A = this chain, B = another copy of it.
Amino acid sequence: MRLTGEMLIGASSVPASEGTMKALNPATGELIAPEFALGGPAEVDRAARLADEAFDSYNGTGIEERAAFLDLVADRLDGIRAELAERASLETGLPAAQFEAEAAKAAGQFRQFADVVRQGRFRHAAVDPAQPERQPRPRLDHRMQKIAIGPVAVFGASNFPISYSVAGGDTASALAAGCPVIVKAHNAHPGTSELMGRAIQGAVADSGLHEGVFSFVRGAGNEIGEALVDHPLIKAVTFTGSEAGGMALYRRAQLRPDPIPVFAEMTSVNPTFVLPAALAARGGEIGDGFAERMLVNVGQACLKPAVLLAVDGPGYAAMREAAAARVSAMGARTMLTPGIHDAYERGARRLRDSGAAAVAEGPEPEGAWEGRTRLLEVDGDRFLADPSLAEEVFGPAALLVRLSGPEQLLEVARSFRGQLSATMHLDEEDHAHAVRLLPVLERRTGRIVVNAFAHPQEVGHATIHGGPFPATTDSRFTSVGMTAIDRFLRPVTYQGFPDALLPEALAAGNPLGLWRLVDGHVTRD
């Protein structure tokens, strides 16, 4: 597929209205062709109007029609997998092999959501049949299903240029819900984005859907994003990135005359608690495993385990040494963008300025935007005294927290803000500790992991990739996994409808064979 650098608005390829940009290869510092078109509010308005026009027909698609479209997107992504991986590698400086896997995962998500659509449970269909004899007054027939919330704006992330980008889980789940999507791609990987955008655009056309079901815009600065969040026809926003970026969009959306949901997945240090028996039994193994996962993707992952906590005691030194050895041995690697590299250096300095001591460092970087690996350490008192030590440093650094005892472990656990995940390493003798720690973690995270590391992410029915603020702006939902679709649905009751006018999912005789709640009972009848 030839990259033209255009934006994609409905079926059209759209040239620049606000200048152009080139992609950067952060490994070489070279700018890469072609020129990518930049747009602004005019392109957003055109895309939003098309999305609005597409809404009724796309929200009204039958289950099989919508599922087949999602499968076709998956096929199209599979068809360009090598090309995608190669371009993503060029635009990130990371190896192409990992992007082959990421592209396969992205296609897989579309197929999984196609299955979710086919199963129809996303409708949450409920039927309270008429009870003409009920006292003191009869009950009329009530039926409920969920429908799409409206056109959705998706802001792609920098760190996973395929699976959290144009063809990522946000786009897949919003399309599965019946929402037209407008993607504002991250400028760190404009070519990768265009390839995915053309794949989806092609699938829309070949499925005979309204062209407004998908658009893809690009812009410099904040203006285009603000135009998306402000547009009255946009009804929900997703974002993956920094707390500052996410909160800017969130606050702006809440100041609209009609506030809309913003699902921003922002920041998490994914604390890892090592309980005493596990520490004594296998501190070294845990320290090594922790450091290995911390360094994946040059530490640029939302699920990077960034804080390792244990009560000082048997196994602590072994854990510390193993983590230090792994960190020292790992060479510096190119980070995603110059800006991310600079923020990483500032963050690492901040940890030291807050009293964290250097335990280990990797070799001095050679390239300009390479991130040097780092392990720091602090004691529990200091950690509690300075909340900035619990803030994310995006990149290959981690903090070891040496605790004075089990009570301090609980106190430190309570001090964390909301997290995407938390981990407990434990043995059976640790269960009494774990039982006390568990409710503290439940209130603060969307996922609790035992004896493993949170990363990499599953995409399943029981997957939650979310959590209390500031991990996300809405702890009631997930951005990854099959229930991510729930973000884009809202319920409607149909009361006293004649059969001929009822939506398919609520029709008499349950022609789709859905699981429904009938008079409060789960049934497929």
Q: Which residues of A contact B (CB under 8 A)?
A: 55-56, 59-60, 101, 115, 119, 121, 124, 126-128, 136-137, 139-140, 142-144, 147, 149-150, 250-251, 254-255, 258-259, 261, 417-418, 428, 431, 434-435, 438-439, 442-443, 445-452, 454, 456, 458, 460-464, 466, 468-470, 473-478, 482-483, 486, 489-498, 500-501, 515, 517, 519-520, 522
Contact = CB atoms under 8 A, between A and B. Distances in A.
A463 B147 contact: no
B147 A442 contact: yes
A59 B522 contact: no
Contacts of A434: 501
B115 A482 contact: no
Nearest to A137: B456
A448 B144 contact: no
Contact of A446 (B55, B115, B447, B493): B493
B60 A439 contact: yes
A271 to B, nearest CB: 15
Given A139-B460, A435-B501, A476-B490, A250 B261 contact: no
Given A451-B496, A461-B126, A490 B475 contact: yes
B520 A482 contact: yes
Contact of A128 (B60, B448, B461): B461
A520 to B, nearest CB: 5
Contacts of A150: 443
A493 B473 contact: no
B520 A115 contact: yes
Contact of A461 (B255, B464, B497, B517): B517
Contact of A501 (B136, B258, B438, B452): B438
Contacts of A461: 126, 128, 144, 517, 519-520
Contacts of A446: 490-493
A265 B263 CA distance: 22
23 contacts: A60-B439, A119-B520, A121-B517, A126-B461, A126-B462, A127-B462, A128-B463, A137-B456, A139-B460, A258-B468, A258-B469, A259-B469, A442-B492, A446-B492, A450-B494, A450-B496, A450-B498, A461-B520, A462-B493, A466-B490, A476-B489, A478-B491, A522-B522
